[in-house]
Amino acid sequence: MQQFYEIAVVAWNSEGFHVKRIIKVQLLDDNDNAPVFLQPLIELTIEENNAPNAFLTKLYATDADSGERGQVSYFLGPDAPSYFSLDSVTGILTVSTQLDREEKEKYRYTVRAVDCGKPPRESVATVTLTVLDKNDNSPRFINKDFSFFVPENFPGYGEIGVISVTDADAGRNGWVALSVVNQSDIFVIDTGKGMLRAKVSLDREQQSSYTLWVEAVDGGEPALSSTTKITILLLDINDNPPLVLFPQSNMSYLLVLPSTLPGSPVTEVYAVDKDTGMNAVIAYSIIGRRGPRPESFRIDPKTGNITLEEALLQTDYGLHRLLVKVSDHGYPEPLHSTVMVNLFVNDTVSNESYIESLLRKEPEINIEEKEPQISIEPTHRKVESVSCMPTLVALSVISLSSITLVTGMGIYICLRKGKKHREDENLEVQIPLKGKIDLHLRERKPMDISNI
> pLDDT value at position 405?
58
Q: Specify whether the backbone of 307 is left (phi greater than 0), alpha (psi in -120 to 50) or beta.
A: beta
Question: In this model, does residue 396 exceed pLDDT 60?
Answer: no
Summarize pLDDT for 122-143 with one digit per residue, the tens.
Answer: 999 999 999 999 999 999 999 9
Distance CA 344, CA 355 (A): 8
Percentage of residues in the chain having pLDDT higher than 70: 80
Confidence of residue 409 (pLDDT cuts 50, 70, 90): low
Summarize pLDDT for 140-154 with one digit per residue, the tens.
Answer: 999 989 999 999 888
> pLDDT value at position 353?
80
List Cα–Cα distances, 87 to 45, 71, 90, in angstroms: 19, 14, 6
CB-based contact 109:85 (threshold 8 Å):
no
Find how far residue 176's CA is from the centre of its chain: 25
What's the whole-number mean pLDDT along residues 38-55? 94
Question: In this model, does residue 245 exceed pLDDT 60?
Answer: yes
CB-based contact 75:88 (threshold 8 Å):
yes
Percentage of residues in the chain having pLDDT higher than 90: 56
Q: Residue 396: CB partners within 8 Å, gap ≥ 6?
A: none
* Residue 335 one-letter amino acid: L
> pLDDT value at position 271?
95
Question: In this model, does residue 394 exceed pLDDT 50?
Answer: no
Mean pLDDT taken over the chain = 82
List Cα–Cα distances, 89 to 61, 135, 380, in angstroms: 11, 37, 105
Confidence of residue 366 (pLDDT cuts 50, 70, 90): low
Distance CA 306, CA 294 (A): 12
Confidence of residue 307 (pLDDT cuts 50, 70, 90): very high
> Angle 360-251-333 (CA atoms, 0-180°, nearest 5)?
105
Short-list 173, 189, 184, 179, CA closest to 226? 179
Q: What is the DSSP string of 42-69?
A: EEEEEESSPPTTEEEEE--EE-SS-GGG
Cis peptide before 242 (omega within 30 of 0): no
Question: In this model, does residue 410 exceed pLDDT 70?
Answer: no
DSSP letter, residue 296: G
Domains and CATH numbers, the chain: 36-132 (2.60.40.60), 140-235 (2.60.40.60), 243-395 (2.60.40.60)
CB-based contact 290:320 (threshold 8 Å):
yes
